[in-house]
């Protein structure tokens, strides 16, 4: 298996007790803001492209532009197709040069999610493209800042098996985190996160972080 740059960046961050920020960008101005914030900290960043941006007019060109712009920064910048549920879309993004893809099978039953993720990992990793998976379901919409209740939580008992068998570089967890705005004070299930961390060998990711207080973010990173 070819090591992906995504996997390497995440492993390095983990060794240093840090997380890697991932930010949805819709144009080069948004990209510029993220990169300018990252450069002075020498922090690696992931630029997320949502499936709706990618499939919109000019979406492929946008991904190629991000990839080209990433080469002219001093920060380590990776471009990811976020929350992709369609293998053909993932293939198209790979052809446009993304560094990593999120194979989002979170709406599928466990076995189908595993099979989908495994298939994506099988086709992406030989090309050096990283893969993020999702177990449980982070509710809400990445492109719309609506109020959201949390979805199905990640089961720690499933996380170990999934992490080992899926071939994904990184596993997105649902521990009370949501995309968009939290309906009320966010209340993450820390115990669940600790349990998932305890059984999962690889990096974990926390979606919906922009609505969390800074203290929660720090605590989540400290828990891995």
Using the minimum distance from each CB to Zn ion, give the nearer residue, 2 or 117. 117
Catalytic residues: 82
CB of 21 to Zn ion, least distance (A): 13
> Are 142 and 179 in contact, with CB atoms under 8 Å apart?
yes
Q: Using CB under 5 A as the criterion, which residues of the chain lie in contact with Zn ion when the complex forms? A: 207
Beta-strand pair 181-182/204-206: unpaired
CB of 212 to Zn ion, least distance (A): 13
Using the minimum distance from each CB to Zn ion, give the nearer residue, 137 or 207. 207
Read off the tokens for 131: 């893969």
CB of 119 to Zn ion, least distance (A): 21
Using the minimum distance from each CB to Zn ion, give the nearer residue, 3 or 144. 144
Using the minimum distance from each CB to Zn ion, give the nearer residue, 56 or 68. 56
d(CA 83, CA 74): 27
Q: What is the 3-state secondary structure (H, E, C) of 5-63?
A: HHHHHHHHHHHCCCCCEEEECCCHHHHHHHHHHHHHHCCCEEEEECHHHHHCCCHHHHH
> Are 124 and 101 in contact, with CB atoms under 8 Å apart?
yes
d(CA 155, CA 158): 5
């Amino acid at each position: 298996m070819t090591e992906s740059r995504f996997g390497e960046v995440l492993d390095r961050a983990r060794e240093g007790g840090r997380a890697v920020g991932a930010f949805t960008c819709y144009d080069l101005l948004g990209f510029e803001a993220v990169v300018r914030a990252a450069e002075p900290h020498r922090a690696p960043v992931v630029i997320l492209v949502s499936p709706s941006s990618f499939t919109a007019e000019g979406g492929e060109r946008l991904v190629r532009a991000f990839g080209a712009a990433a080469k002219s920064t001093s920060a380590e910048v990776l471009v990811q197709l976020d929350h992709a549920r369609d293998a053909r879309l993932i293939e198209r993004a790979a052809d446009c040069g993304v560094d990593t893809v999120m194979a989002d099978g979170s709406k599928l039953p466990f076995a189908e999610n595993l099979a989908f993720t495994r298939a994506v990992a099988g086709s992406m990793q030989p090309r050096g493209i990283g893969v993020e998976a999702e177990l449980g379901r982070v509710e809400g919409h990445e492109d719309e800042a609506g109020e959201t209740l949390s979805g199905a939580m990640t089961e720690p008992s499933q996380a170990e098996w999934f992490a080992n068998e899926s071939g994904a570089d990184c596993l997105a967890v649902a521990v009370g985190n949501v995309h968009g705005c939290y309906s009320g004070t966010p209340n993450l299930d820390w115990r669940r996160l600790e349990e998932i961390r305890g059984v999962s060998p690889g990096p974990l990711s926390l979606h919906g972080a922009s609505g969390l207080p800074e203290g929660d973010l720090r605590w989540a990173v400290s828990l891995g």
